[in-house]
Amino acid sequence: MSMNSFGHIFRVTTWGESHGPALGATVDGCPPNIPLDAEMLQVWLDKRRPGQNKHTTQRNEPDQVRILSGVYDGKTTGTPIQLMIENTDQRSKDYGEIETTFRPGHADITYWQKYGIRDPRGGGRSSARETAARVAAGGVAREALKALLPGLQIKGYMTQMGALHLDRTKFDWDAIDQNPFWLPDNAAVQEWEDYLHHLRTREHDSVGAAIEVVVRGAPAGLGAPIYAKLDTDLTAAMMSINAVKGVEIGEGMAAAGLRGTENADEISMGDDGPLFSSNHAGGILGGISSGQDIVVRFAVKPTSSILTPRQSITKTGQPVEVVTKGRHDPCVGIRAVPVGEAMAACVMLDHVMLHRAQMGDGPRGKIG
């Protein structure tokens, strides 16, 4: 059972509501002797933090993470690591009428229908604020991966924002960390900024996005078929992020339009092992990594919290017009980038551990 947990062995349980005293993540199963302190995690939280640029929520919280357990003398001990982020700025007055009104496109109505009770302050448990806990847990996973798989890189970036698409011919891996959209094309940043500024200030609207996360440098052999396939677990991890509506591995949905002669990546022998002529598979075959770049992509819907009025109903079934005046991102997809990276980091570490459980550190099947 895993209502608020994910992972097989590196197991993360997130807890907390948007406007409660605190939220966080309980991280179980981390390998011992991994160097860890709060600063290492803060880096990633700062990346996700609202108020980073003018396109993300202006709520100005430090999002300071504390490590309450599982670390001694600067190293993990193999026991549960409790990560807590206190909610210091809880302007719940902004959210008063949400208690009796269901915002279209939000989980207000379904939480109510399921539980018969919900914390309406800032969306409660269904708020995207929950992803801060994931990002903190992902930071732990990154530190463990550094020790277990040195050389592994995990990077997320935007490939689409509404009508704008990444031009893949200009793909620049190094540009990703240099602009507020994590866009692998610095030259396009101004256009993306203008587009979003116009959308927010003039059209009072929001927009969806597509994010791609690449894992580079993973060895072949990770993944546990049939139902803990690496692609299955990555897909589930991404789909669990707020507002995600689709997930793709490699070719993704476009595979439906391909022929066998186009899709299969041909294999040749390189100096260091097998080489593939292409990467339609997204680095995963039969649920197991092939040694190629692992490529997962997901779509985030536009936030429904906009200034433009929308029709809805109240708890008593009365019609009501909903206008969201609070602080909201015009494109929540931007902040989904570090969240997607964090989820990928957790899944990769989990699968390294799962592989070791069954196979140990011993030799894998050799080729050549």
Q: With left for phi above 0 and alpha for psi between -120 and 50, is residue 317 left, alpha or beta?
A: left
* Burial status of residue 293 (CB atoms within 10 A of its CB: 0-12, 13-18, 19 or more): middle
> Contact between 106 and a copy of itself (CB under 8 A)?
yes
Out of 39, 93, 117, 150, the only residue in the binding site for a copy of itself (CB under 8 A) is 117
Q: Which helix (H) or strand (E) holds 326?
A: none
Of 159, 135, 154, residue with least CA distance to 208: 159
User: Considering CB under 8 A, how many residues would be counted as binding a copy of itself?
Assistant: 168
**Least spacing, CB of residue 366 vs a copy of itself, in Å:** 8
Nearer to a copy of itself, 45 or 85 (CB): 85
Q: Please state, in angstroms and as integers, the Cα–Cα distance from residue 300 to each residue in 56, 307, 333, following that order.
A: 15, 19, 6
Residue 53 CB, shortest distance to a copy of itself, in Å, is 19
Work out how close the CB of 31 gets to a copy of itself at its nearest, in angstroms, rounded to a whole number: 5
Is 126 annotated as belonging to a binding site? Answer: yes
Find the binding residues for a copy of itself in span 5-64 (CB under 8 A): 5-9, 11, 13-17, 20-24, 26, 28-33
210 touches a copy of itself by CB under 8 A? yes
CB of 142 to a copy of itself, least distance (A): 17
Asked if 150 is part of the footprint of a copy of itself (rule: CB under 8 A), the reply reads no
Q: What is the DSSP letter of 50?
A: T
Angle formed by the axes of helices 131-148 and 38-48, nearest 10°? 130
Three-state DSSP class for residue 267: strand
User: Site map for a copy of itself, 263-302, x if CB under 8 A?
Assistant: xxxxxxx----x--x--xxx-xxxxxxxx-----x-xxxx
- Only one of the segments 41-49, 135-143, 173-181, 316-324 lies at the binding site for a copy of itself (rule: CB under 8 A); that segment is 316-324
Q: Least distance in Å: CB of 174 to a copy of itself?
A: 24
What's phi and psi for 350, nearest 5 deg? -55, -40
When asked if residue 179 is in the footprint of a copy of itself (CB under 8 A), the reply is no
- Tell whether 264 is in a known binding site: no
Place of tokens 């799962």: 354
Q: Which residues contact 153 (CB under 8 A, 6 or more apart)?
A: 214, 215, 216, 217
**Contact residue for a copy of itself among 52, 64, 79, 186 (CB under 8 A):** 79
Specify binding-site residues for NADP(+).
Answer: 48, 54
